[in-house]
């Protein structure tokens, strides 16, 4: 159900210069899938099927950090894919096998707006639209005209190869081929949800006058990802400090953006906040329940 077996032939036969494994691209994609709470698994380099003998167990459970560390690391060429359905918080992928299928399905006006808050990948055959459903969706294939697989609805029981995996034909799926934009409205809402949902961020707000440098840094790191809305909130929360300056705070925001681009994520995670900053995060915090590892990730879920 859901998977089509590949030929046993070498996926790069006739291709003397197969693309090289791009670990930084894979690491960036993993960070995104983590934030989105998706169940992701390894696949063979240039393959579409999971490289695990019994991957079906992950239809009902998320892999552990130890398992993921074993599957994905620098120097080990690996494709990546996601398990659709309930384990990935209701992930449903609409896989169109027609270049114009998605545009026809959604209509031109809605199609133009869709990328603002929706993850979309583009393949040679058409677009894949990644959505979420609170209710179970039946996996099925919908024909149209002579195209018997015009639309594949992939939900429970399906594994879908994902960027930046290498296609069996030797063409890599690059993250840049996806359309992922966050509107100013989304960022504003996310910042509101961040302040509502995270006790640590509330502590940073309420203790601004006595906030330590390390706490301030963690606060800035979790706000910077939300663009202008995050920048404004960072200044607002920093202003009560008696030695606050706009210039220093602005530099801190720039440093946070640079750290994010360089994938230095340690100093704003929930683990860092609890263990290194010794902050007493409440046991009923929603972050671990939602499978996210940072306060910013919690905001993404709630927005």
Contacts of 168 (CB under 8 A, 6+ apart): 6, 11, 46, 47, 48
pLDDT at position 59, please?
A: 92
Please give the model's pTM, rounded to 2 decimal places: 0.55
Query: Which strand ranges, in their side-by-side order, compose the sheet holding 79-83?
Result: 40-43, 79-83, 159-162
- Residues 127, 120 contacting (CB under 8 angstroms): yes
Q: What is the pLDDT of residues 202-231, one digit of tens each?
A: 999 999 999 999 999 999 999 998 999 999
Provide the 8-state DSSP code for 181.
-
DSSP state, 276? Answer: I
The separation between CA 252 and the C-alpha centre of its own chain, rounded to angstroms, equals 25
pLDDT at 265: 53
The predicted pLDDT at position 263 comes to 59
What confidence score (pLDDT) does residue 17 get? 56
Q: 139 and 156 in contact (C-beta within 8 Å)?
A: yes
CB 87 within 8 A of CB 155: no
- CB distance 49 to 43 below 8 Å: yes
Helix, strand or coil for residue 180? Answer: coil
> 23 with 75: CB under 8 angstroms?
yes
Please name which of 170, 140, 281, 176 lies closest in space to residue 218, comparing C-alpha atoms. Answer: 281
CATH assignment of 23-177, among 3.30.2250, 1.10.10, 2.40.50, 1.10.3470 = 3.30.2250
Helix (H) or strand (E) holding 256: helix 246-261
CA distance 26 to 77: 10
What DSSP state is assigned to residue 172?
B
- Quick count: other Cβ atoms within 10 Å of Cβ 220? 25
- Residue-level pLDDT at 115: 72
| Angle value at C-alpha 57, between 51 and 59, nearest 5 degrees | 95
pLDDT of residue 194: 93
Whether the CA torsion 16, 20, 26, 28 is positive or negative: it is negative
> What are the residue ranges in the chain where pLDDT is below 50?
1-16, 174-181
> Which pLDDT score, from 0 to 100, does residue 259 have?
81
Three-state DSSP state, 228: helix
Q: What pLDDT is attached to residue 205?
A: 95
């Amino acid at each position: 159900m859901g998977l089509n077996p590949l030929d046993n032939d070498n996926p790069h036969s006739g291709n003397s210069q197969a693309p090289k494994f791009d670990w930084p691209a894979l690491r960036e994609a993993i960070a995104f899938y983590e934030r989105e709470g998706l169940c992701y698994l390894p696949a063979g380099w240039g393959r579409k099927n999971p490289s695990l003998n019994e991957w079906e167990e992950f239809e009902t459970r998320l892999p552990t950090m130890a398992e993921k560390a074993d599957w994905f690391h620098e120097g080990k060429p690996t494709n990546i894919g996601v398990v659709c359905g309930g384990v990935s918080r209701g992930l449903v992928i609409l896989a169109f096998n027609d270049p114009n299928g998605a545009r026809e399905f959604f209509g031109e006006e809605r199609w133009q707006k869709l990328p603002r808050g929706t993850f979309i990948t583009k393949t040679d055959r058409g677009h894949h639209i990644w959505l979420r459903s609170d209710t179970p969706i039946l996996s099925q294939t919908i024909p149209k005209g002579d195209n018997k697989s015009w639309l594949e609805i992939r939900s429970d029981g399906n594994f879908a190869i994902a960027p930046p995996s290498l296609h069996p034909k030797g063409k890599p799926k690059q993250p840049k081929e996806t359309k992922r934009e966050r509107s100013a409205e989304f960022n504003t809402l996310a910042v509101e949800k961040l302040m509502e949902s995270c006790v640590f961020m509330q502590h940073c707000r309420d203790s601004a006058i006595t906030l330590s440098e390390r706490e301030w840094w963690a606060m800035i790191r979790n706000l910077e990802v939300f663009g202008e809305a995050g920048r404004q909130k960072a200044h607002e929360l920093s202003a009560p400090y008696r030695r606050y300056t706009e210039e220093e705070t602005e530099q801190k925001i720039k440093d946070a953006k640079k750290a994010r681009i360089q994938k230095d994520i340690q100093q704003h995670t929930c683990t860092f906040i609890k263990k290194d900053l010794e902050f007493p995060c409440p046991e009923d915090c929603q972050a671990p329940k939602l499978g996210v590892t940072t306060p910013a990730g919690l905001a993404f879920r709630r927005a």
